[in-house]
A and B are shown apart, each in its own frame.
Chain A
Amino acid sequence: MNEDPVVQATGAVPDGTGPSPAADALSHAGALLQVRDVRKVYGEGHTEVVAVSDATMAVDEGEFVALLGPSGSGKTTLISIIGGLLSATSGTVRIGDVEVTGMSRRDLTRFRAERVGFVFQSANLVPFLTARENLLYVAGLVKTPRAAAKSRADQLLEELGLIGRAGNLPEQLSGGERQRVAIGRALMNDPDLVLVDEPTAALDTAMGRQVVELLRREIKARGKTGIMVTHDLRMVEYTDRVFEILDGELTHVEEPSTLGH
């Protein structure tokens, strides 16, 4: 993905030191994900809400970062734009060699199926499909051969400790188990980017920790790049870096957490 030799040299080590955001940490050429001057305005006139204001950030391949901010700060809006779910008012999002902003609706649908894995806060699974079928369904979207899809689904379920529950419908699973199935689903198509929106919101703290830990393990084991939205500081320790957002503005970028490793 990274064709620029300079990036190869810098590797996945983020630039910048200390709490102040360094310009080249926010945006450097060759990062897997590059967000540049992204702005999102909802509504018009005096109902106008600036949800994201000129956000610029970069995430390298293999990084697992947190997007931290209070409620209403624009976290969901920003990762929706990154994942091709929502169009930006202005600015660009680039994943690898693809520019997400400016794709047609149809191309975005395919892009989401092939290159992005989503874990939403809740209502993550198709209720009439079993855990295993939820994984197999997304494999079908990108026409993965049946046998390969089956073995990959079983492997993921195994790793997520769900192999005994593979035949259960979502309603027969606990909240934590459901989020683990969603993680499996997000990883199923070997995406470039895993986007996770408050995965622990519906879970108690212990269960939340367990899920995020597993999420980190899976992302790291597969060398995936992940962004996790959270407003819970305690979850930040599982990530490499933190982007903070307040009132739509990215305010703060942190070095990789020492606890997280």
Chain B
Amino acid sequence: MGLATVEMRRAKLRFGLLTIAVALLVFLILLLTTLSSALISSLVGALKGLDTQGLVYSTSSQDNIAASRLAPETVAAVAAVPGVAAASGIGTFTTSASISGVEGDLQAFGFTPDAPGAPTALSAGRLPANEAEVAVDGDAAIGDVVVIGSQSLEIVGLLRGAQFNALPTAYMTLPAYERAVTEINPGLPFVPVNAVAFTVAEGASLAEVAGAVSTSVVDVKAYSLDEAVASIPGIDSISQSFGILVGLTFIIGIVVIGFFFLILTVQKMRTFTLLRAIGSSSGGLARAVTLQIVVVVVLASAVALLLTLGALQGINTGIPVSIDPVTVTGTIAAVLIFSLLAGLLSIRRIVRIDPSAAVGSR
């Protein structure tokens, strides 16, 4: 007869309240991790999703693709560096446009199909193949139209996790991009690219090739894609802040679970002592507490997951948010593991029980 389950059935209110408290904490953790990864991905998703090994910025850019300006000839200069397999220009700027009839800010990217620097995070449709087509990460559907200046581009593909600056982001071919830029800045002698995406030849080292690009091409600095993503301004502090919030919530949750079970255990010390005296093993009692922790955490996690799904339906964050099953599973597993560790506090008390204390206790 499961001592643990019988007790929980008889003390539904107590265990119900605990489950709700834990569920709220797990909910907070899940919501924070989901929102933070959504926010970070909307800031860095575009760069991260580029199909390239390295990016070349101008030296004056301070590691910021938006501040980088390169003359179109730089593409050929980079391509000529030994070890570079292919190179292609990428342009990006923020403008206003209408997507599916809604006016607003838009981050535009220009790239060359099938060359380094094309986006990868397609969730539906395909990438643009000509100057009249565009792929979008934003509130749009395939077949809708992006109107940017005088151009009407047909949406042929949808991307996910490919935003930049937390704005709806449109990927078009370089000629369409150049036209959009020229229309806004008619006086430009040429349309610069912001970066050169490059891949390295087989067997060549990315770091060495990047070093070679930086030294042999004037006024540029080459980065691996990971370096470029990590150096996006503000990313560090944003992920740190969210990390602290998530970490704190996590710790609070574990402490609540650990102390709650410790309190329950201490309250039941007389009963546990009696049980030890009449011949229950400490192992059996420890298993009962462990089982209760598992049941509470699993039930709480299920409730928390429902709350998270509901909350993401209900709140408008302005950025695309999706639940990542890996993150959710990982979070719940971590809560469970650390709860069980916190449960060791209780188990230690149980193991230390002196069964003789049951005799003659008043």
Residues of A within 8 A of B (CB): 76, 79-80, 83, 85-86, 106, 109-114, 116, 118, 120-129, 133, 136-138, 140-142, 169, 185, 197-198
Contacts and interface: CB of A to CB of B under 8 A. Distances in A.
A185 B275 CA distance: 12
A118 B277 contact: yes
A170 to B, nearest CB: 10
Q: What are the 6 closest A-B residue pairs judged by CB atoms, nearest first?
A: A113-B279, A112-B279, A85-B356, A86-B356, A76-B360, A128-B10
A138 B10 contact: no
B361 A120 contact: yes
B315 interface: no
B188 interface: no
A123 B276 contact: no
A126 B281 contact: no
B355 interface: yes
B6 A133 contact: yes
B360 A109 contact: no
Contacts of A79: 359
Contacts of B126: none
Contact of A124 (B11, B274, B280, B282): B274
Contacts of B362: 121-123
A109 B353 CA distance: 12
A114 B279 contact: yes
A129 B280 CA distance: 15
B271 interface: yes
B1 A123 contact: no
Which of B10, B11, B279, B280 has the most chain A CB within a 10 Å cutoff?
B279
A38 to B, nearest CB: 14
Contact of A120 (B3, B274, B275, B281): B274
B13 interface: no
Nearest to A188: B278
Which of B6, B276, B359 has the most chain A CB within a 10 Å cutoff?
B359
Interface in B279-313: 279-282
B270 interface: yes
A184 to B, nearest CB: 12
Nearest to B361: A123
Contacts of A110: 279, 281
Which of A79, A123, A133 has the most chain B CB within a 10 Å cutoff?
A123
Contacts of B280: 109, 113, 141
A109 B7 contact: no
A99 to B, nearest CB: 18
A120 B279 contact: no
A225 B335 CA distance: 52
A83 B205 CA distance: 76
Given A85-B355, A169-B10, A118 B278 contact: yes
A120 B358 contact: yes
Contacts of B7: 128
Contacts of B355: 85, 109, 112
B359 A76 contact: yes
Interface in B327-345: none
Contacts of B1: 133, 136-137, 140
Contacts of B278: 112-113, 118, 138, 141, 185
A128 B359 contact: no
A104 to B, nearest CB: 12
28 contacts: A76-B359, A80-B359, A83-B359, A85-B277, A109-B279, A111-B279, A112-B277, A112-B278, A113-B280, A114-B279, A118-B358, A120-B277, A120-B358, A121-B361, A122-B362, A123-B270, A123-B271, A126-B3, A126-B271, A126-B275, A128-B11, A128-B271, A138-B278, A140-B1, A141-B278, A141-B280, A142-B279, A197-B360
Contacts of A85: 277, 355-356, 358-359
A121 B360 contact: yes
Interface string B1-21: 101001100110000000000
Contact of B359 (A137, A169, A185, A197): A197
A112 B276 CA distance: 9
A109 B281 CA distance: 6
B275 to A, nearest CB: 7
A120 B359 contact: yes
A133 B270 CA distance: 18
